Amino acid sequence: MKKIITAAVIAGMIVSISGISTIAADNTPERGTISVNTNASAEITPDTVEINIAIKTKDNKSLQKAASENKITSDNVYNALKAMINYQNGDYIKTADYDARPVYTYTSNNKKVLDKYEVSNSIIVHTKNIDKAGNMIDKAISLGATDVKDLRFSVSSYENKCNELLETASKKAKTRADITAKASGTYITGVKNLNISCTENTANRVPYRLMTNKMAMMDNASGAVAEAAPATPIQSGIIKIYANLNAVYFIK
């Protein structure tokens, strides 16, 4: 009989405790929130440029000959560009891509026939001396470069500027949230969530491609570029950096 009574008492305690927990959970006040979206932006003049220059050679019979010719031209271009940059300022030159392969064509009978051998060596020049970009392109072409595949401008202080803009956007978000909450008869009690992003407008970083059109200016007899020809004009434009913030605040 004692055991039955004891079991009943324990069961009653469990039910009571469970009931208390349910009541406590039901009485927990819900925390309201307010969401704010803000942004900040800045226009900056680029201070860095990357130029992708390619040297392509070919030979109808020998891949080795095409590769040897490519090495000679690439070394000349590399050494000339190396003398035009400032390594102490963070400038550098590196190989971006190297490709050596046979090129095939197909006859009217759909037969695969060797046409030639091609070798391509791409060099990237990274420099803060934007004013010399045109001269670098012209120099590379005059030494045998066949293609300027890409030209991109950037801002070396991008991270610092991004952080500054995010700070501005954060202050704007807090101010707007405080004003809205006060007008609604509440106040901010904390931060629930923050989503941030920083991007740049690439409209002024259109890939620049130059198939050696200046070769048309060369004297076919002498193979030399006219000395009076001006440097290829290069305009860096403006890069716009955007900081975006989505903030969710607790209110009471």
Beta bridge partners of 18: none
Q: Which residues belong to CATH 3.30.110.170 in the chain?
A: 29-46+156-213+229-252
Which CATH number fits the domain 29-46+156-213+229-252, given the four candidates 3.40.50.920, 3.40.718.10, 3.40.640.10, 3.30.110.170?
3.30.110.170
Report the pLDDT value the prediction gives residue 67, as an integer from 0 to 100. 96
> Is the whole-model pTM more than 0.95?
no
> What mean pLDDT, rounded, does the chain reach?
82
- The secondary structure of the chain, three-state, reads CHHHHHHHHHHHHHHHHHHHHHHHHHCCCCCEEEEEEEEEEEEECCCEEEEEEEEEEEECCCHHHHHHHHHHHHHHHHHHHHCCCCHHHCCEEEEEEEEEEEEEEECCCCCEEEEEEEEEEEEEEEECCHHHHHHHHHHHHHCCCCEEEEEEEECCCHHHHHHHHHHHHHHHHHHHHHHHHHHCCCCEEEEEEEEEEEEEEHHHCCCCCEECHHHHHCCCCCCCCCCCCCCCCCCCCCEEEEEEEEEEEEEC
Q: Which residues belong to CATH 3.30.70.2970 in the chain?
A: 48-154
Hey, what are 13's tokens? 């305690």
Q: Residue 229's pLDDT band (boundaries 50, 70, 90)?
A: low
Which CATH number fits the domain 48-154, given the four candidates 3.40.228.10, 3.40.640.10, 3.30.70.2970, 1.10.1040.10?
3.30.70.2970
Query: From CA 221, how far away is CA 199, in angstroms rounded?
Result: 51
For residue 165, pLDDT over 90 is answered with yes
- The model's pLDDT over 93-115, given as tens digits with 9 standing for 90+, comes to 999 999 999 999 998 888 899 99
Among the listed ranges 16-25, 78-87, 129-138, 190-199, which one has the minimum average pLDDT value? 16-25
- The model's pLDDT over 150-160, given as tens digits with 9 standing for 90+, comes to 889 999 999 99
| C-alpha torsion angle, residues 197, 202, 205, 208 (rounded to 10) | 120
